[in-house]
Amino acid sequence: MELTVDRIAVGGKGLGLDSNRRVTFVAGAIPTERVRAQITSERSRFAESEVIEVLEPSLDRVDPSCAHAVGPHRCGGCDWQHVSEQGQRRLRVAMVEDALRRVGKLDTTSLTIRSARSLPASAYRTGVRMLVDGNGRLCYRRRRSNDGFRPESCEVAHPLVDGLIQDALCPGSTEVSLRVGARTGERMLVVDGEPGEVTAPEDVSVVRVGDGPTAHVHEIVSGTRLRISAGAFFQSSPQGAELLVELADRALHGVDRSGVLIDAYAGGGLFSATVGRGWSDSGSVIAVETNSAAVADARVNAPHARIEHARFERWKPVRADAVIADPARAGLAAGGAETIVASAAAVVVLVSCDAAALGRDAGLLTSAGYAVTDVAVVDMFNQTSHVEVVTRFEKIS
């Protein structure tokens, strides 16, 4: 079919109407473009498709810099290699605005939704997950497939990661995770097979999935040395983590820092260990996290905080002056939002990694008496349609 792409949809695909006025999502398309697309799946109300020819290109279209981003068997990782850097920034803001308006039912005409300062567009990822082929070599997944392919190099991987992709052999494993400390030089390879069968450079710590907190690397963020265990989550780069810390700290302006700060979904204590230092002398920091490995890290990284090993949705809240919440991709949902509301915090800083989840969470919090006062969109995952958003909510009732 031929169609014109009108806007970007949450999830990063273009959206237009086919000749029958049916909503059609178009992978690989940019708003304003006229394209020829191939349907990949269809239902009565909408169709999924992907670009096979660009008839009228957008001014934001560029030639992908990565050879693995084109062709019928392209990499499944970077879905926006065809979009300019400035175009990516505008499209992420547009996706967030769309989610807040359509999903959250907010009046976005009165909101300022802005891009935060730019982050590196290449060589930034300090952690990746990969398949292992029959020869023990590390592979990425092809787009829309579980089949693997061996990259000659990865443009978005940190050099310490990219080198490990090329050098490691992991016979007997099916999937591995690579994690490095960009500022410490430490490298770790987490395998689901036997570590003794792995061939890797001498500096690499090879551990098995499920190994305890002794399996970790360190990273330095905002001048703080953080321990990151194999089974714990960490942001995609130290520069990105520092920007989140900066934005969260700024979003807490006007808050009485002699009071209580709750760090919800705290992970290894990124915010408790950095932003929370401002509370350590006269106030108190409470970090709530369910992952055991992350809890162990938080106790090392933020010794001034009280660490609660619990699901935030089931945790009995205390009264607080502020909450920083950094939930997983699914967002707060009703349970997390209810716990935040029960804390009666005057300011809530929500870190979201999915636009649709942000929309749902914003709807829940605004319905409970909070107002959105600032929205900063962070380019944490350049060359992809993934978003990270830091949103400030203020209690108004």
Which residues in the chain show pLDDT less than 70?
72, 212-214, 280, 397
The predicted-structure confidence for 311-333, as pLDDT tens digits, reads as follows: 999 999 999 999 999 999 999 98
Tokens of 193: 């097979």
The one-character DSSP state at 305 is S
Burial 116-129 (b: 16+ CB within 10 A, else e): beebeeebbbbbbe
Contact 273, 301 (CB under 8 A): yes
238 vs 242: CA distance, rounded Å: 6
> CB–CB of 393/135 below 8 Å?
no
| Residues 97-126 pLDDT 10s | 999 999 999 999 999 999 999 999 999 999
Please report, to the nearest 10 degrees, the dihedral formed by the alpha carbons of residues 199, 204, 207, 212 taken in order.
170
Q: What is the pLDDT of residue 64?
A: 92
Query: Which strands form 370-378's sheet, in the order they lie side by side?
Result: 113-115, 370-378, 388-395, 347-352, 322-325, 260-264, 284-289, 306-309
Q: What's residue 280's pLDDT? A: 67
pLDDT of res. 199: 96
Q: Which two tokens stand for residue 172?
A: 């007997």
Matching CATH number, 90-120+237-395, of 1.10.10.10, 3.40.50.150, 3.90.230.10, 3.10.580.10 = 3.40.50.150
| CA separation for the pair 270, 274 (Å, rounded) | 6
**Burial degree of 251 (CB within 10 A; 0-12, 13-18, 19+):** buried
Q: What is the pTM assigned to this prediction?
A: 0.94
Q: Give domain limits for the chain.
A: 2-61, 90-120+237-395, 127-222
Q: What is the DSSP string of 223-261?
A: TEEEEEETTS---S-HHHHHHHHHHHHHHTTT--TTSEE
pLDDT reported for residue 212: 63
Q: What is the pLDDT of residues 35-77, one digit of tens each?
A: 999 999 998 899 999 999 999 999 999 999 998 887 767 888 8
Closest CA to 294 of 274, 266, 336: 266
Q: What is the pLDDT of residue 274?
A: 97
Dihedral sign for Cα 209, 211, 213, 219, please. negative
At 196 the pLDDT is 92
Rounded distance, CA 70 to CA 49, Å? 16
Which residue, among 46, 67, 44, 43, has the nearest Cα to 3 in the 3D structure? 46
Strand partners, 187: 180, 204
Q: What topology does CATH give the domain 2-61?
A: OB fold (Dihydrolipoamide Acetyltransferase, E2P) (2.40.50)
